Amino acid sequence: MDIHEYQAKEILARFGVPVPRGGLAYSPEQAGYRARELGGSAWVVKAQIHSGGRGAAGGVKLCRSEAEVQQFAATLFGKQLVTKQTDANGKGVYRLWVEGASDIAKEMYLGFVLDRKSERIMIVASAHGGMEIEELAETDPDSLQRMTLDPAVGLSEFQARELAFKLGLKGGQIAQMVTILKACYRAYRDLDAVMVEINPLVITGAGDLIALDAKMSFDTNALFRRPEIAELRDRSQEDPRESAAGDYGLAYVGLDGDIGCIINGAGLAMATMDMIKLAGGEPANFLDIGGGASPERVVRAFRTVLADRNVSVILVNIFAGINRCDWVAEGVVQAYREVGMTIPVVVRLAGTNVEEGKRILATSGLPLITADTLAEAAEKAVATRMKSAA
């Protein structure tokens, strides 16, 4: 689960990371009030959306008067901001963050991520910030400093100081960096985060380190024990299909194709999408109905897939272990009748109770297309889609 910049800053500030003073605004008038409340002669107004690249997309601006703050805020509220990290529809802007302008002498990058290869937290840092980590890795790979942390030990003082030295910090800045690194590590560890990023982490003209921007993402599976984090969820920033599917325990990711997928198991779902591509088609989604899928759960999966208007055919691919093919077959038949299906459905069943599942499909009297193998199912789905398009 992602959260907004201002929420990440509030969390990191509680752990000891220095951040600029700012205020949240839900209207242009409130944005102007926040500027007046903060004082000073310059303010930065930032669109709060779950995406990077806001500045390049026109979602961040330095304003030098209260009137300019209100005018810029008025252009942002309700706008669908399209960045290089969003799709063509962009993300809706319904909140703004107004903070006092900072005197920036130097920008750096700092990130804490899960390194799945080593199964440890990895710190990624660079003496150059203000751009995405992918760009840094491509344009200046030598500037990236990486450090993995032993979960039994955590982040030690000497590791933090060593990283500060490698980033070229001196004097009191080293102590400040140690404080920031240890605070970020505690926030990551204590709140079940999967990513903490400060970009840029700036050195001000006075030589102080401040987190000018921040991002945090959390392990969705751990939210049950982090109610204070779960409350920060902003559904307006999520794909409504993915949000609705998650409410019913379905793992769903929307894609750009037109062949809807209903699969059990993430690995099988990935293999199915690969097979669809190999057959010349484009998957419309990733959907894992999970183990022990009841007929009602299968019906919900159908409704979720059909919420995408681009779907022209549905491919059901079940390899039953914990699941049972007869349950899934009953769900397919029930969904077909309840939903009033108007598009073709291709079904491939294998595993537990497969013969009974096939019998249920065959005696249903419905125009279901069956297949014995994954390759055959993908080919039939693609052929059916092309026939429908013609």
Pair of tokens at residue 261: 């997928």
Specify the DSSP element, H or E, that contains 325. Answer: helix 325-339
Is 33 annotated as catalytic? no
Q: Using the structure block, give the residue that is written with the tokens 């959260």.
A: 3
Q: Angle of helix 266-278 relative to helix 374-389, nearest 10 degrees?
A: 50
Q: Angle of helix 66-76 relative to helix 28-38, nearest 10 degrees?
A: 150
pLDDT score of 390: 55
Each residue's pLDDT, cut to its tens digit, for the chain (390 residues) gives 999 999 999 999 999 999 999 999 999 999 999 999 999 999 999 999 999 889 889 999 999 999 999 999 999 999 999 998 888 889 999 999 999 999 999 999 999 999 988 889 999 999 888 766 777 777 777 778 999 998 888 999 999 999 999 999 988 999 999 999 999 999 999 999 999 999 999 999 999 999 999 999 999 889 999 999 999 999 888 877 777 777 777 788 888 899 999 988 889 999 999 999 999 999 999 988 876 667 788 888 888 898 888 899 999 998 877 778 888 899 889 888 888 888 999 999 998 889 999 999 999 999 999 999 999 999 999 998 776 655
pLDDT tens, position by position, 135-181: 777 777 777 899 999 888 899 999 999 999 999 998 899 999 999 99
pLDDT score of 8: 97
Q: Domain 20-101 classified CATH 3.40.50.800?
A: no
Residues annotated within a binding site for ATP:
46, 53-55, 99, 102, 107
Is 197 annotated as catalytic? yes
pLDDT score of 387: 66
In order of 6, 195, 201, 251, 305, the CA distances from 130 in angstroms are: 17, 17, 8, 34, 39
Q: Using the structure block, give the residue that is written with the tokens 């007929």.
A: 295
Report pTM.
0.79
> Catalytic residue among 6, 109, 185, 252, which?
109
Residues annotated within a binding site:
46, 53-55, 99, 102, 107, 199, 213, 264
pLDDT score of 295: 77
How is the chain split into domains, by residue range?
20-101, 104-237, 239-389
> Catalytic residue among 197, 242, 330, 379, which?
197
Residues annotated within a binding site for Mg(2+):
199, 213
Torsion of CA 320, 295, 248, 346, to 10 degrees: 70
Q: Which amino acid is at 3?
A: I
pLDDT score of 254: 86
Report, at the CATH architecture level, how domain 239-389 is classified: 3-Layer(aba) Sandwich (3.40)
**What CATH number belongs to 104-237?**
3.30.470.20
- With beta carbons less than 8 A apart as the criterion, state whether 163 and 144 touch: no
Residues annotated within a binding site for substrate:
264
